[in-house]
């Protein structure tokens, strides 16, 4: 069964959700990131996906204190992304309690640096974040599209042991219209030794069930939880049957 990874997006220490990566279309939610992390852990979730949107926009992590509180307050693994552009930022992330680091812009812009980090920190701790719009990779908080495909990106890091990729279809993100099933099945079948995480568009447990039937391995769920389309009880039931 596919692993459900709940998402927490943070701006100024608060939970938010964007639509299609547009910062001007953000919605703030009442629950704190720490409280949400605890609630997910209580459901039996093993890993949560956290994006520091302030960091993504400013090119350096900005919510490390929130990360620290989450790591201390909830018994759950944290994959953290947003603004990781230097080895110093990467080390700070792990020091503050992240289990995995998600790297996107650096991997696309300076692939030799991400390859070095894969070798240095180990592929088990490093996650390639590939945000895709119209088949091309987008960087800097989805504000700039590059002429690189996700396949070109992945191919370059396979010799360095790349084993985890989060692929977000920006056109689907936050829209609650269902994910790009074909995109992910194609990627997973092409790269059997890499765990691809589906990200963007999940609207219901039916979407998750279909992804699981397609033998995809991981899925990030964000807005559907905040909008009560998928409940914590749904997630708990899924995990109990896993």
The catalytic residues are 9, 131
Task: Quickly list DSSP for 153-210.
Answer: HHHHHGGGT--EEEEEETTTTTS-S---HHHHHHHHHH-TTSEEEEES---SHHHHHH
Cβ-Cβ contacts under 8 Å for 151 (sequence gap 6 or more): 187, 190
Closest by Cα among 231, 226, 171 to 15? 226
Cα 49 from Cα 123, distance rounded (Å) = 17
Q: How far is CA 60 from the centre of its chain?
A: 17
Task: Say what the alpha-carbon torsion angle 20, 8, 187, 208 is, to the nearest 10 degrees.
Answer: -100
Cα 157 from Cα 151, distance rounded (Å) = 10
């Amino acid at each position: 069964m596919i692993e459900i990874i709940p998402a927490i997006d943070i701006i100024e220490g608060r939970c938010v959700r964007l639509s299609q990566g547009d910062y001007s279309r953000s919605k703030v939610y009442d629950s704190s990131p720490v409280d949400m992390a605890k609630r997910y852990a209580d459901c039996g979730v093993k890993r949560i996906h956290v994006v520091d949107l302030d960091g993504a926009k400013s090119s350096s992590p900005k919510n490390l204190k929130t990360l620290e509180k989450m790591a201390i307050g909830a018994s759950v693994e944290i994959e953290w992304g947003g603004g990781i552009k230097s080895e110093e930022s990467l080390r700070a992330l792990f020091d503050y309690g992240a289990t995995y680091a998600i790297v996107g812009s650096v991997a696309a812009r300076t692939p030799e640096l991400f390859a070095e980090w894969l070798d240095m920190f180990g592929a088990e701790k490093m996650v390639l974040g590939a945000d895709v719009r119209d088949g091309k990779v987008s960087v800097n908080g989805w504000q700039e599209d590059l002429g690189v495909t996700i396949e070109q990106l992945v191919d370059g890091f396979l010799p360095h042991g790349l084993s985890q990729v989060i692929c977000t279809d920006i056109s689907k993100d936050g829209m609650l219209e269902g994910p790009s099933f074909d995109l992910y099945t194609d990627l997973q079948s092409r790269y059997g030794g890499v765990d691809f995480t589906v990200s963007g568009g999940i609207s219901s447990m039916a979407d998750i069930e279909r992804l699981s039937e397609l033998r995809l391995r991981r899925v990030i769920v964000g807005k559907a939880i905040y909008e009560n389309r998928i409940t914590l009880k749904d997630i708990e039931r899924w995990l109990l049957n896993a």
